[in-house]
């Protein structure tokens, strides 16, 4: 029933009640009247501690929340899922809201490191896209702990101008992953700078995907195979970066394994700096790796009510839309769709077309054994052993 029919039906019930003639009820004998239940009062100190990725929140959002609620937000950042995970495992993080990727959130939920949400305090959950919430059930089976912050994909970002110059007569490869994994290309691009994200769980899955293995393999032997491929290009990699936006926009790297939104942010910064170079996030022909980053409340959080208030604030359509409009990442908030600027909505490296989406590799998670094999393989590669 649409909202007009609902309101029509409700009015009919009320009107019918009004028309009924009844004898006035006798006044009740003086009896104790139970007080109407008072709205729950938030007695928490007015503080909220958030731990999120860098360059991942629209400017002014924290200030707007503080102004509206009087809650003071302490906002810290981490650069890798591994760093956040180490804090959560150690315990007593002091953080209320954390933003893990689903690959890590699954074991964090299983290990009791994240607490279930009180959905009655988050009415704006209704704004979320059921399709995205369905996807999150892989990590959070009943959607009890995680709320989407943003999603995107790990891909190849390039300074097209510099890459074309460094490649000379060699044409761009059909599969963009060749630019960072194939010696024929990396040997030419090393002069303008190749950068990799600095984390085993960012690099090893894309390396596995490139050599035709399951990106989320739990077979330690696959990591040895990925290492064999990576060893051939190690000498050409200039940077293991935690500051990818600056490194691409500032010219330290002309090609990078990076996150889609960050490459788009770098493109915007380069333009602001009046650079003539064109920076683009590529869509590799074999697919890129999707990620979902999620808000969750850490076990032992001291300010859970404030955390719920912030989650609900973020889920307002106008706030979620800012995340796409300003940070170039989709949010999973369906009610925000009509608030996305046309130039963002039509950018196919932010909102990919369904044909490409179908090619992308969805996130999964790893066993502890695979995580160890992956970390060993990555460290060996990084150290050039």
Question: Which parts of this chain interact with ligand SPD (CB under 6 A)?
Answer: 53-56, 101, 154, 202, 259, 262, 291, 293
Residue of 188, 207, 195 lying closest to 245 (CA atoms):
195
Nearer to ligand SPD, 71 or 180 (CB): 180
Nearer to ligand SPD, 69 or 243 (CB): 243
β-strand pairing of 289-298 with 147-159 = antiparallel
Whether the Cβ atoms of residue 25 and residue 33 lie closer than 8 Å to each other: no
Nearer to ligand SPD, 56 or 177 (CB): 56
Shortest distance in whole angstroms from residue 154 CB to ligand SPD: 6
Shortest distance in whole angstroms from residue 165 CB to ligand SPD: 28
Residue of 249, 284, 244 lying closest to 267 (CA atoms):
249
Cα 261 from Cα 348, distance rounded (Å): 11
Shortest distance in whole angstroms from residue 283 CB to ligand SPD: 17
Residue of 113, 38, 49, 105 lying closest to 304 (CA atoms):
49
Shortest distance in whole angstroms from residue 369 CB to ligand SPD: 20
Nearer to ligand SPD, 166 or 257 (CB): 257
Q: Cβ of 138: how many Cβ atoms within 10 Å?
A: 15
How many helices (H) and strands (E) are present in the chain, helices listed first? 17, 10
Cα 209 from Cα 163, distance rounded (Å): 23
Shortest distance in whole angstroms from residue 153 CB to ligand SPD: 9
What are the backbone dihedrals phi and psi of residue 98, each rounded to the nearest 5 degrees, phi first?
Answer: -125, 160
Cα 157 from Cα 250, distance rounded (Å): 14
Nearer to ligand SPD, 53 or 185 (CB): 53
Nearer to ligand SPD, 264 or 319 (CB): 264
Nearer to ligand SPD, 154 or 331 (CB): 154
Cα 332 from Cα 229, distance rounded (Å): 35
Q: How many residues does the chain have?
A: 385
Token readout for 366 is 């790893």
* End-to-end CA, the chain: 66
Give the CA dihedral 287, 288, 293, 299, nearest 10 degrees.
Answer: 90
Q: Cβ of 47: how many Cβ atoms within 10 Å?
A: 13
Shortest distance in whole angstroms from residue 259 CB to ligand SPD: 5
Shortest distance in whole angstroms from residue 334 CB to ligand SPD: 21
Shortest distance in whole angstroms from residue 377 CB to ligand SPD: 17
Shortest distance in whole angstroms from residue 262 CB to ligand SPD: 5
Nearer to ligand SPD, 204 or 309 (CB): 204
Nearer to ligand SPD, 202 or 222 (CB): 202
Token readout for 337 is 């769709």
């Amino acid at each position: 029933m649409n909202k007009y029919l609902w309101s029509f039906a409700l009015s009919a019930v009320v009107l019918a009640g009004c028309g009924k003639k009844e004898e006035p009820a006798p006044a009740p004998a003086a009896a104790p009247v139970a007080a109407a239940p008072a709205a729950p009062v938030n007695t928490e100190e007015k503080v909220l501690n958030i731990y999120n990725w860098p360059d991942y929140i629209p400017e002014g959002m924290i200030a707007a929340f503080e102004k509206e609620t009087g809650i003071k937000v302490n906002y810290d950042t981490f650069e890798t899922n591994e760093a956040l995970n180490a804090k959560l495992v150690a315990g007593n993080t002091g953080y209320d809201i954390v933003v893990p990727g689903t690959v890590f959130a699954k074991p964090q939920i299983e290990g009791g490191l994240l607490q279930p949400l009180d959905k009655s305090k988050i009415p704006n959950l209704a704004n979320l896209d059921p399709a995205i919430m369905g996807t999150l059930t892989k990590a959070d089976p009943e959607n009890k702990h995680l709320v989407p912050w943003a999603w995107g994909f790990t891909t190849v970002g390039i300074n097209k101008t510099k890459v074309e110059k460094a490649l000379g007569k060699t044409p761009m490869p059909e599969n963009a992953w060749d630019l960072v994994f194939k010696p024929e290309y990396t040997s030419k691009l090393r002069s303008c700078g190749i950068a990799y994200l600095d984390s085993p769980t960012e690099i090893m899955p894309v390396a596995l995907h490139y050599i035709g293995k399951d990106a989320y393999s739990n077979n330690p032997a696959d990591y040895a195979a990925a290492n064999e491929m990576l060893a051939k290009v190690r000498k050409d990699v200039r940077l293991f970066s935690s500051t990818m936006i600056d490194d691409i926009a500032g010219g330290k790297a002309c090609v990078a394994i990076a996150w889609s939104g960050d490459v788009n942010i770098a493109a915007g910064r380069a333009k602001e700096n009046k650079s003539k170079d064109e920076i683009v996030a590529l869509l590799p022909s074999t697919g890129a790796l999707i990620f979902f980053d999620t808000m969750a409340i850490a076990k032992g959080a001291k300010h859970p009510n404030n955390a719920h208030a912030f989650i609900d604030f973020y889920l307002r359509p106008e706030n979620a839309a800012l995340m796409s409009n300003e940070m170039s990442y989709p949010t999973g908030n369906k009610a925000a769709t009509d608030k996305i600027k046309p130039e963002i909505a039509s950018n196919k490296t932010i909102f990919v077309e369904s044909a490409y989406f179908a090619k992308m590799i969805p996130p999964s998670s790893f066993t502890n054994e695979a995580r160890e094999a992956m970390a060993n393989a990555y460290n060996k590669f990084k150290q050039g052993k």
